[in-house]
Structure formats: structure tokens, C-alpha cells
Amino acid sequence: MPVADLGPEIALIAGAIAALLLAMVLPQRRLGWCLAPALAALAVAALWAFAQADAARLTFSGTWALDGVTFWARGMIVAATALCLILAPRWFEADRRHGEFYTMTLFSALGAIAMAGAADLLQLVMAVLLSSVTGYVLAAWHRDWALSVEAGMKYFLIGALANALLVIGVILVMGMAGTSDYAALEGAEVSSPLALTGLALIVSGLAFKLGAVPGHAWVPDVAEGAPVPAAAFLTVVPKIGAALALYRLVHLFPDAEMLRPLIAALSVLTMTLGNLAALWQEDARRLIGWSSVSQSGYALMAVAVADLAPHALPALIWFLAAYALANLTAFAVIAHLRGRTALEDYKGLARTQPAMAATLILAFLSLVGIPPLIGFVGKLGLFMVTIDGGYAWLAIAAMLNTVVSLFYYVRVIAPMYFAAPQGDAPATLGVPSGAVAVVAAAGLVALGLLSGPFLAEAFGEVALP
């Protein structure tokens, strides 16, 4: 059991501890310095993960998968976490507990990576619990603000129920199959009612982390009430881990009769509910939250056709990367505008903050899937593998939902360019948040233009061991 196999995860733990120790000795005005050990830990984790890019094996007695999926999960989660943390120093400038934010975020990122790399049901439970417990704290960080407390409480209550269902599901599957090890579970007979019930409960538990029906209700509240760096993190990073964990689960039981139809149904319900709810929002952060729910529905398309379409896994990974970059871009703009959320505040933004207006438009268009942005490639891949896997009706439902999503994004975009500004130019958070927004937006364009050969080379061979 070589400890080096978990080098990236150990780096995150070390960085979290270093940030916490530094926060204990620094005065409040210097707590932003805790960003340095956090970013250093993320950099070490990324380099270590890159060194293990070609690994394809199970380690630590078969509980941890060191493969292409874990590699890409590490890369996406580390990059997304770094972008979120760069927003934090200026946002939490007056917060006495500012330094601890970096520690909680790194531990939450560790939980998300552990979800994606879990090769044992008990390991999966521990990963979900680590991601959840830290997420509750991040959501309710502004404890003197009612919306933040409400977001944290809703996240906690829904999470308590979902995690209990997950544990019950794991117990049922273990009881019927006699093991929690993925290698032993692969292809196991799960036709009994109790085993199928267990699988359904596990899916429900992971749906909570993914922000999908039936565990979706926390997403818009967290998007609105959590600190913007935390909202950006919680609407992106846990989704990556949960989506890949769900894919591994379906890969284990390709012949389970009800599993694929269940996930396909959840996909349609999630994307439809998210898009319809977003149509009526008057708050930009809640709108992005409901949009995030709908994006979870799209991700479930690839999960539903796991192993039915040969490129389902690369399509899922690429979509998750495109979604993460676009969602983080949108939240970086909101952070730069100091959390302005009412849609009225965005009228005439193109005249007062032209760069931020253009950046937000690129983020929204990528979430819709407009070429040449990377979101187009991500959604096109999902549609192709879904049709290839025999779920053409699901692809049609997703296309209709994509058309619906245009309407609520236009509700934000049109006033930015065609309405008069509301008062003076909005105050901004500073250079770091603007830089994150612009760099992420540039990535949306650059990756979209370069994605053809990159997809063929980088994702063509991704597979589970």
C-alpha cells in the first residue's frame, strides 16, 4: 500500500493544516496570507497527479482507484478550487475567521476527489460525508446574515436525509452482495428487490451531492446565500466528484434493469425543473443556482449510457470541465461586482463594466452550448453519446431544455446592453477577482477552439480499469 499513491490527497491535507496553523498566529489584516500555503498545496497536488497520469490500478487494498478518471477528477477539482480561493482574500477581508476558510475548502475538495476515486462503497460513504460536513460550514459562513444561515441549514437538513439514505443503500447492497469492494461487486447479481432498493438509495444520496433531483433544493439557496467564493466552489466541485462516482456505480452494474431508466428519468426531471425554475428568478445568483441544477441533469445523460456508448466517459469528463469553467466565470464576475445579485443591478453593465459584461455573456453562452465556446463541445459530446447509447429521446429532451435555457440567460444579457445603467458604476472587489473572470472567460474561448485535437488525444483513451 504505497503512501505515494495518495500523494495529491496528502498534499491537500498538509496545505489545510498549514493554512490553519498560519491563521492562528496572523493578525486579522494578514489572514489573506493563508492563501499562499493553500495554493502551494494545490500546485503540489496537481504536479503529483500529473506524475501518476498513466496509472491504471487499484491501491490501498482495492479501496482506491488510481486511473484516468481519478487523474482528471484531481485536475479539474484542483483547478476549480484554486480559482475559488483566489477570490477569497478580498471577499473575506473583514472576516475574523477568514483564515479557516482555506482549510475547510481544501478538506471539502479532498472529499470530492475521494468520491471520484472511491473503489469501495465504504470509501464512498466517507468521501460523501467529508464533502458534506465541510460544505455545510462553507455555505453558512456568513453566520450573521440570514440568507447564509438559511442556506447552510437547508444544505444540512437535505444532506442529513440524503446521507442517511446513502448509508442505508450501501448496507442493503453489501448485505445482498456480501462485499463492499467494487472489484468483487462488478457484474454481481443485484436483481433482488432489496439490492435494487439499495442501488436506488445510493443514487439518491449521490444525487444530493450532484445537485440533482431529488436532492437539488439546496443549490439555489447556497448559490444565493453562501459567500461568493464558497457558492462558486459548492456549485462546481462536489458535482465533479458525484458525477464520476455515479458513473463508476453504473459501470459496476451494467445489467441492473432499473438503474439506467432511473438515472435517465432523474436527468430529464433535473434539467427540466432547473430550467423552468430559473425562468422566474429575479436574483442573478439564484438564477445561476437553478441553472446549475439543470446542468446536473445534462451530466446524468452520460451516466445513463455508461458502457452503452464507447465514449460516454470522455464526454462526461469534458462536459464537467466545460461546466466548471463557465460556472466559475459567472461567479467570478459576481464576486468582482461585490456580490450584486438583483437583475436590476445588471442593467447597462456593458457601459459601466464592459469587460465584466462580456465575460458574463461568454459564461452564459457556454452554459447554453453556443459555438465556438467549450460548452458547445461539452454538450455536443453528451448528445452524441446519448443517441449512440440508445437514449435518443433523452437527447431530444435535452435539446428542448437547452432552447428553454436561452430565455433566462437573455433576461440577464439583454438589459446589460440595451438598458440604461442604474446609478453610478458599481464598486468592484479588486484586481484578483477581475483577473479570475477574464482568464476563465479566455479559457472558454481557447478550449472551445482547440478542443478537437485535444479531445482526440487526451480523452480518447480514458477508461475504467
Global pTM reads 0.95
Please tell me which residue, 453 or 204, carries the higher pLDDT value: 204
Please tell me which residue, 135 or 144, carries the higher pLDDT value: 135
- pLDDT bin (cut points 50, 70, 90) of residue 458 is very low
Q: What's the rounded Cα separation, in Å, for the pair 341 and 278?
A: 14
Output the pLDDT for position 456.
Answer: 55
Output the pLDDT for position 54.
Answer: 87
- Reported as a single tens digit per residue, the pLDDT across 352-394 is 899 999 999 999 999 999 989 999 999 999 999 999 999 999 9
Number of domains comprising the chain: 1
Q: Lowest-confidence range among 166-175, 318-327, 418-427?
A: 418-427
- Reported as a single tens digit per residue, the pLDDT across 255-294 is 777 899 999 999 999 999 999 999 999 999 999 999 999 9
Output the pLDDT for position 62.
Answer: 87
Q: What is the mean pLDDT of the chain?
A: 92
Three-state DSSP string of 302-357: HHHCECCECCHHHHHHHHHHHHHHHHHHHHHHHHHCCCCCEHHHHCCHHHHCHHHH
363 part of a folded domain: yes
Q: What's the rounded Cα separation, in Å, for the pair 206 and 263?
A: 11
330 part of a folded domain: yes
207 part of a folded domain: no
Q: Looking at residues 242-250, what average pLDDT do you find? A: 96
210 part of a folded domain: no
288 part of a folded domain: yes
241 part of a folded domain: no
The count of other CB atoms within 10 Å of the CB of residue 32 is 19
35 part of a folded domain: no
**pLDDT over 70 percentage in the chain:** 96
Q: Which domain holds residue 291?
A: 258-465
E strands within 9-118? 57-59, 64-66
Beta-bridge mates of residue 65: 58
Contact partners, residue 282, CB within 8 Å, separation at least 6 = 342, 343
- Angle, helices 237-252 vs 121-139, to 10°: value is 160
- pLDDT bin (cut points 50, 70, 90) of residue 152 is very high
- Residue found under cell 489572514: 31
Q: Looking at residues 20-32, what average pLDDT do you find? A: 91
159 part of a folded domain: no
